A and B are shown apart, each in its own frame.
Chain A
Amino acid sequence: DQQVKQNSPSLSVQEGRISILNCDYTNSMFDYFLWYKKYPAEGPTFLISISSIKDKNEDGRFTVFLNKSAKHLSLHIVPSQPGDSAVYFCAASASGTYKYIFGTGTRLKVLA
């Protein structure tokens, strides 16, 4: 039972344009969501997070939007840069469970 889904395995975007990565979840108990970026041969690195009490969180070029009613979150990268080319994972957690459920990832390629 995949509780966190990233339905797009890959995405290509032109440099300078917006990249939008999507994530859906099924467990209504999830109240904290995170995005990680992963380069080949490295471990994931934390990018941005959002609590369920918010619907938007912004950090520089990265913005995460949360739509609780739709159980959907998205990561916007503006403007996209070639260095953003990586695999992006979304993850979710429910308070008190002390565990994180990850999606299968979306490979982003930013074309110069």
Chain B
Amino acid sequence: DSGVTQTPKHLITATGQRVTLRCSPRSGDLSVYWYQQSLDQGLQFLIHYYNGEERAKGNILERFSAQQFPDLHSELNLSSLELGDSALYFCASSVSPGQAYEQYFGPGTRLTVT
């Protein structure tokens, strides 16, 4: 158990819908990262928040947005869903955004868009 929790574990929804994925980082961790893993693909970096502020952005679609709240949990919002958005979404947390700080990954949320 990494100490990072993600809810829900599974999510099935239809095209065009909007969903929210939630991540609670390890106690004391200020950085939260979001990744997408599509079938047979590596982990695609989406976005990184540090202490409530956006720190880095990857190839995140405009239909996707995220935020980190004062209690440090983070939400990833996916809207106007398409079939291609079906994937595993992981969040990870670390104490600090620096390279030397290990990222701890949650178990992921599996999103299926039908």
Contact = CB atoms under 8 A, between A and B. Distances in A.
Interface string B77-114: 00000000000001010000101101111111000000
Contact of B45 (A89, A99, A105): A99
B48 A98 contact: yes
B42 A46 contact: no
Contacts of B103: 46, 100
Interface residues of A, number: 25
A32 B100 CA distance: 9
A102 interface: yes
Contact of A43 (B48, B55, B107): B107
Contacts of B90: 43-44
Chain A, interface SS category: loop
Interface in A1-36: 4, 6, 31-32, 36
Given A98-B55, A102-B44, A104-B42, 17 more contacts: A6-B42, A31-B99, A36-B105, A42-B107, A43-B106, A43-B107, A43-B108, A45-B2, A51-B99, A89-B42, A98-B48, A98-B50, A99-B48, A100-B33, A101-B45, A102-B35, A102-B43
Interface of B: 2, 4, 33, 35, 40-45, 48, 50, 55-58, 90, 92, 97, 99-100, 102-108
Interface of A: 4, 6, 31-32, 36, 41-46, 51, 89, 91, 93, 95, 97-105
